């Protein structure tokens, strides 16, 4: 029996044998993973087509086929587009049949008619890929300066929200959809232009050490879709996500309203509410009313007038209704 180092990771072993079809006699993906020293599932999502294309599957030096490369890409997209709190163990739910079903339902177009008996328009009346590209370039003004710089890892949530908003306005948001696959020649040509534009955005706006490595990785292929997919994996899954959650919670704990606060009370509460929303967005969990009230009490403890007013309101609420004030109240 051939032994590969990826057999030491039960999740990688499951992907190889139950999803990709490795057998004891022909462990193609086991050999491939070993050739690039992939031994942990944690590292799987950081690799793209360019890395897997270098994998060697046997002693003859053969590499993975285009179909095998596409399966690896689809596995990563399946994981990223269906986030849960189960972490990498969710890969154990995936089977070869489920992967095929996902590819059909999510990666293939479903809105095309089964048959079209209409007379085709003359070629001169159809939009060619060249026309599509020209229309894109002459259309909505797309200015890279509209996008914010990403300078701090802890600001990922707000930066990503802004990125998606502006990209949608510019009509290039399909680049930020890991499951989108253009089908027609015109769609492929247009998407290529979208990719180039968004790569320029990333090249100029990504400033953190973690994000810059992905810019360099794709400096020759301008694959902004895969670059963004890698950013999602880095900042919304695993250790980095936990670090971001800890950073936001620490920021909430340290946020204080004192008698020296120079802004309005409304601006303070707005900023506090945004920090709560950022935490919920990153953790994908709703913060309980009890936890919000505890953090808010901590935040306003240094402002004697406001603290006194809230204490009075609580006493009145408890006396009249027998219930404590909620966070929203």
What residues have CB less than 8 Å from 310, skipping those under 6 apart?
300, 325
Task: Measure the N-to-C terminal CA separation of the chain; round to a whole number of Å.
Answer: 67
pLDDT at residue 119, as a whole number: 37
3-state secondary structure of 5: helix
The DSSP letter of residue 329 is: -
How distant is the alpha carbon of residue 91 from its chain centre? 17
Classify each residue of 199-213 as buried b or exposed e, where b means 16 or more C-beta atoms within 10 Å of its C-beta: bebbbebbebeebee
- Residues constituting the chain: 329
Query: Rounded to 5 degrees, what angle do the CA atoms 269, 272, 273 make?
Result: 85
CA–CA separation, 307 vs 79, rounded Å?
46
- Sorted by where each begins, the domain ranges of the chain are 5-106, 126-237, 240-321
pLDDT at residue 151, as a whole number: 93
Q: What's the pTM value of the predicted model, to 2 decimals?
A: 0.44
What residues have CB less than 8 Å from 97, skipping those under 6 apart?
none
The pair phi, psi for residue 107, each rounded to 5°, is -105, -10
Alpha helices in the chain (DSSP H): 10-14, 28-35, 41-44, 49-52, 66-80, 96-106, 129-138, 156-170, 185-205, 209-217, 224-236, 239-254, 265-283, 289-300, 304-321
Mean pLDDT of each 10-residue bin along the chain, 329 residues long: 56 88 86 86 77 84 85 83 67 85 66 41 46 59 88 86 89 90 86 92 93 91 92 74 72 78 78 79 76 80 65 54 53
Residue 124 vs residues 121, 133, 138, 185, 192: alpha-carbon distances, Å: 8, 16, 20, 16, 23
Q: For residue 261, give both structure tokens.
A: 């606060």
Q: For residue 36, give both structure tokens.
A: 């690039």
CB 91 within 8 A of CB 15: yes
What residues have CB less than 8 Å from 252, skipping those under 6 apart?
272, 275, 276, 279, 295, 299
């Amino acid at each position: 029996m051939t032994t590969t180092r990826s057999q030491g990771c039960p999740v990688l072993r499951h992907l190889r044998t139950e999803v990709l079809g490795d057998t004891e006699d022909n462990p193609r993906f086991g050999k491939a993973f070993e050739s690039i020293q992939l031994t942990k599932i944690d590292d799987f999502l950081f690799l793209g087509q360019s890395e897997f294309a270098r994998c060697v599957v046997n002693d003859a030096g053969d590499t993975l086929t285009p179909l095998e490369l596409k399966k690896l890409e689809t596995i990563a997209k399946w994981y990223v587009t269906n986030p849960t709190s189960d972490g990498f163990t969710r890969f154990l739910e995936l089977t070869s049949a489920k992967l095929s079903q996902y590819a059909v339902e999510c990666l293939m177009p479903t809105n095309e008619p089964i048959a079209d008996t209409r007379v085709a328009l003359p070629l001169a009346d159809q939009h060619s890929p060249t026309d599509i590209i020209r229309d894109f370039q002459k259309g909505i003004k797309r200015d890279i300066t509209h996008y914010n710089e990403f300078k701090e890892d802890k600001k990922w949530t707000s930066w990503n929200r802004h990125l998606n908003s502006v990209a949608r306005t510019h009509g290039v948001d399909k680049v930020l959809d890991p499951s989108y696959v253009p089908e027609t020649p015109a769609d492929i040509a247009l998407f290529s232009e979208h990719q180039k534009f968004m790569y320029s955005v990333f090249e100029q706006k990504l400033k953190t050490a973690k994000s810059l490595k992905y810019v360099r990785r794709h400096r020759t292929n301008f694959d902004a879709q895969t670059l963004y997919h890698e950013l999602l994996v880095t900042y919304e899954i695993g250790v980095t996500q936990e670090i971001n959650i800890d950073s936001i919670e620490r920021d909430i704990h340290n946020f204080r309203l004192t008698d020296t606060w120079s802004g309005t009370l409304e601006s303070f509460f707005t900023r506090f509410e945004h920090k709560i929303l950022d935490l919920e967005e990153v953790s994908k969990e709703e913060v309980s009313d009890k936890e919000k009230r505890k953090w808010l009490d901590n935040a306003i403890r240094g402002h004697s007038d406001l603290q006194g007013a809230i204490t009075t309101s609580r006493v009145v609420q408890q006396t009249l209704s027998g219930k404590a004030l909620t966070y929203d109240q």
